[in-house]
Amino acid sequence: MPSMRHRYRPAIGQLLALAGLMPLMAAHAQEAPAQATMAPVTPTGDQAAQPTEMAAPAAPVPSAEDSGMQAFLMTLRPKAVAMGVGGDLFDRTIAGLRFNARVIRLDRSQPGGNPASTAASAAPDFAPYAAAHVDAVRINMGRTRYGRLRPLLAGIEQKTGVPERIMLAIFGHESGYGTFTGNFDLLQSLATLAYEGRRRDLFSAEFLNAMLLLQRGVPREKLKGSWAGATGYPQFLPSVYLRTGIDGDGDGKVDIWGSELDTLASIGNYLRDAGWKAGTPWGVAVRVPDALDRASLVSPLRPVTCPRVYARHSRWLTIAEWRTQGVQMVGNPVPADSELATLIEPDGQGRTAYLLTTNFRSILDYNCSNFYALSVGMLGDAIAE
């Protein structure tokens, strides 16, 4: 890349970084199930004959926030129509949306989510995170799918250049291979975040893109996901789905909510779009000599997005040059000697470190967290063992 390929585009990692939601996607805990509601009971037999003094439940009275959000959403209507969304569809959809205060509370609780907070904590060690995210359950589930889907995944790898194991590892991290995807109403969450206003342009655009998904035939009931607007097995934002979603199973649809092959193909297409270089490993575990002159290896780059993430990376040297620095390869596969790589010591000096190729930056584009990207690479390698 390096550093998000040195260009601005609406990628998952960049959108979340701009939104102040990183490292939002690092853990992906499933939201609590929505509270069930009782369906109305139709009287039968003697019940139907009995008079009743029970009035039908009154419709909820819109709050001031509900009314304000409805008025705001109407200002987006001309843009939606210009994008190809039918006016009737837009009107029907927003009529059922209500302001979700829980979304705002969750947003404000994220690192960087409170504009009044200026505290910056030191980076924690990577080892505990790795133990929790590159675990036996994820590895075994990934291996099962690897064995079952490999004949079809090979075609996706050939098309995108992205290894099957990396696609599977992201699938495993994002939604536990489809076992959890979030149950927030996507349009309600995006409308709430847009109306709240701190990142109005960002979330207004994602709301309009979600409306476009409806217009193009995505069923309303599928548009569920995280409170921050990510949906489906790969946890794509609506704009990302529209840009990089592709059909992987050949049925003419792009179903990231039900098709594993569509999900994996779309993840591969995303990483290809983010600059994935075919035939190059994401990185390799290494042992760093105590005498390494780290001060001379500080990167001169100052990226605009995710600066704290990239601040932990050294400057770029070839694998051959790292060998001359006394760095020993302890993992596999090892990138070619001519391949450029940066060094990261996520657990501090004297612990396992990693040389990271430009493909690591493609994973960071998906989610700008060193821990996330390292665990994706490690899980992928473990799946393919």
Q: Domain residue spans in the chain? A: 283-356
Beta bridge partners of 353: 286
365 three-class SS: helix
Residues, the chain: 385
In this predicted model, what pLDDT tens digit does every residue of 304-324 receive, in sequence order?
889 999 999 999 999 999 999
In this predicted model, what pLDDT tens digit does every residue of 223-273 receive, in sequence order?
999 999 999 999 999 999 999 999 999 999 999 999 999 999 999 999 999
Please give the structure tokens belonging to residue 308: 């704290």
Question: CA-to-CA distance for 119 and 343, rounded, in angstroms?
Answer: 27
Predicted local distance difference test score (pLDDT) of residue 228: 93
- Site of tokens 């709050």: 63
- Region 347-369: what's the mean pLDDT? 96
How far, CA to CA in Å, does 150 sit from each of 2, 144, 229, 241, 334?
Answer: 30, 10, 31, 24, 23
pTM: 0.83
In this predicted model, what pLDDT tens digit does every residue of 64-113 receive, in sequence order?
889 999 999 999 999 999 999 999 999 999 998 999 999 999 998 875 54
Please give the structure tokens belonging to residue 133: 């995210």
Question: CA-to-CA distance for 310 and 306, rounded, in angstroms?
Answer: 7
In this predicted model, what pLDDT tens digit does every residue of 201-228 receive, in sequence order?
999 999 999 999 999 999 999 999 999 9
First-to-final CA distance of the chain: 27
Evaluate if residue 52 carries a pLDDT over 80. no
Per-state percent for the chain, helix, strand, coil, to nearest 5: 50, 5, 45
How far, CA to CA in Å, does 259 sit from each of 177, 178, 186?
Answer: 11, 9, 19
Question: CA-to-CA distance for 220 and 226, rounded, in angstroms?
Answer: 15
- Region 142-151: what's the mean pLDDT? 94
Q: What is the C-alpha R_g of the chain?
A: 24
Based on the number of CB atoms within 10 Å of its own CB, is 289 exposed (0-12), middle (13-18) or buried (19 or more)?
A: exposed
Q: What is the DSSP string of 222-274?
A: G-EE-TTS-BTTTTB-HHHHHHH---SSSSS---TTT-HHHHHHHHHHHHHHT
